[in-house]
Amino acid sequence: MHLISHLIQRRLKLSPPLTRDLTVQRDLRVPMPDGAELLADRWAPKRGGAALPTALVRCPYGRRGPLAWAMVRPLAERGFQVLVQSTRGGFGSGGTFDPMRQEREDGLATLDWVVKQPWFGGSIVLAGMSYMGYVQWAVADSLPPQVKAMIPQMTESALTLEFLRPDGLSLETPFGWGVLIDGVESRLGLLRQPFQARRIRRGLNTLPLEGADTAALGHRSGYIQDILAHDADDPYWAAADHRHRVAGTTVPVSSIGGWYDIFLPGQLRDFQALQNAGCPARLTVGPWTHLTGDGTGMNEAVEFGLAHARGERPPERAPVRLFVMGEEAWRDFESWPPPGYRPRRFHLQAGGTLSGDRPAEAEPDRYRYDPADPTPAAGGVRMVPGSGRVGNAALEARADVLTYTTAALDRDVEVIGEVGAEIWFRSSLRHADVFVRLCDVDPRGRSVNVCDGLVSLSGADEISRADVRLWPTAYRFGRGHRIRVQVSSGAFPRYARNPGTGEPHATATTLRAADQEVHHDPEHPSAVILPVG
């Protein structure tokens, strides 16, 4: 999604180019079955380009400028001819852009066209991150035999649906993307993306939210109205959901993600589907957000993609390569989740402590959540500068954030896999959110976020167990460090604030403060569940 900022900001560590002497064919017309024509540019070395494998990149952000220099050109300099195509309805391509809902038909038609071209060299690799990775999954179960590999990066097969969960509306990402894509063809549109935060914030603070697009853009946005009107379970999104295609993938896949990337849970789900179906696949997860990286994806496209395109074996490595944070080292595993890591419960205790012991009798801890002054998001899984690992001092100083912390660890504790929490909770209102964050506290007392998640409750005015799915992680808590859990009722604007009234998010206009209780006693053993090796 916010690809261009990612490409501009990161320092790429790439293999040396084979040539810098390239030629570009502009505005090739690719016909679609409905009569629309999508425009594409073909980059290739001036000598011998037609004999090379084709890297296909289908993109809603344009074909030139930053994208060409940061992604297309490096591939063309390292052994590919590259066809970069503007998706329907943008940058001269015909038809109307309907995000995510037309990519299967258009992608299959594009592949059919490529293999018939006189310059086609006999093999195709699908490459790209974010939206450009998502379009790969849209065609993954119906690939022509000329496609030899897929390299989806920072993406998943159901791109918007995690954000639109009825039990946890993570509105900031799709709303911000709606603002971006609305102005993507304006002068310097993509380069202006890092400066849109104020407009996005103004929109997300608007009540009712159905007017947020007008507040941010000055006019209505069809995509933003769609994400407000249709949650993840709505049949409206069926054409954008390609999860069922993953297991039918017929080519090797190298999937690259980040521990603080917005798409990580879906990306790991897709990789597990490939594993379970016996598809040849490998996974790399680094310490990245959606806006950071080090060129691993580009090098993977060159090494893994070119090898398969040429009918060769790629360099040997384990199926799963993970960066273990805390240890700050890469490690290899045979599968995801790795074997040998078992769920271990760390219980919330009286006095703000956290331990493996069952809790004793204790009064609940209390705090007041006010959506008019919502608990803010700090770092973590977002598509804005300052995401990822950050200090939590200001957040943990707030009265609406509870913390529970272990004693100093007498040995390293390694956590790799899926993380969850069970929080026994009651609110003075029927509708409330529970946000849980796992943190590492170093010997100096600095708290840094590891992973987090949120769930929305109805019936919260009765004591009930909130089952919170946190982001997966790979983290080593060092000896002398402490494990901390935060509990609160929001992370705005990453998650839409819960108004407390039960009104639909799009039309809610009333904000009600709530008194919250977190219970930790023998009948209500609140805990975070960590996969410990």
Token digits for 445?
A: 């007392």
Task: Collect all residues with Cβ–Cβ distance below 8 Å to 422 and sequence separation of at least 6.
Answer: 465, 466, 467, 468, 525, 526, 527, 529
d(CA 149, CA 444): 47
Q: Where are the domains of the chain?
A: 3-159+242-317, 163-231, 342-532
In this structure, what DSSP letter does residue 316 have?
P
Q: State the pLDDT at residue 345.
A: 98
pLDDT lower than 50: segments of the chain: 1-11
Burial letters for 47-77: b for 16+ Cβ neighbours within 10 Å, e otherwise? eebeebbbbbbbbbbbbeebbbebbbbbbbb
The amino acid present at 338, given as its one-letter code, is: P
Instruction: Report H helices in 374-432.
Output: 393-396
Task: Collect all residues with Cβ–Cβ distance below 8 Å to 211 and sequence separation of at least 6.
Answer: none
The β-bridge relationship of strands 527-532 and 420-427 is antiparallel
Do 27 and 92 touch, CB atoms closer than 8 A?
Answer: yes
Token digits for 292?
A: 């950071």
- 3-state DSSP call for residue 169? strand
Measured in whole angstroms, the distance separating CA 414 from the mean position of its chain's CA atoms is: 24
Sign of the torsion formed by the C-alpha atoms of 375, 378, 384 and 388: negative
As its CATH architecture, domain 3-159+242-317 has 3-Layer(aba) Sandwich (3.40)
Short-list 406, 401, 385, CA closest to 532:
406
- Could you count the other beta carbons within 10 Å of the beta carbon of residue 24? 16
CATH class label, 342-532? mainly beta
Q: Is the peptide bond preceding residue 99 cis, with omega within 30 degrees of 0?
A: no
Q: State the pLDDT at residue 4.
A: 45
d(CA 237, CA 60): 19
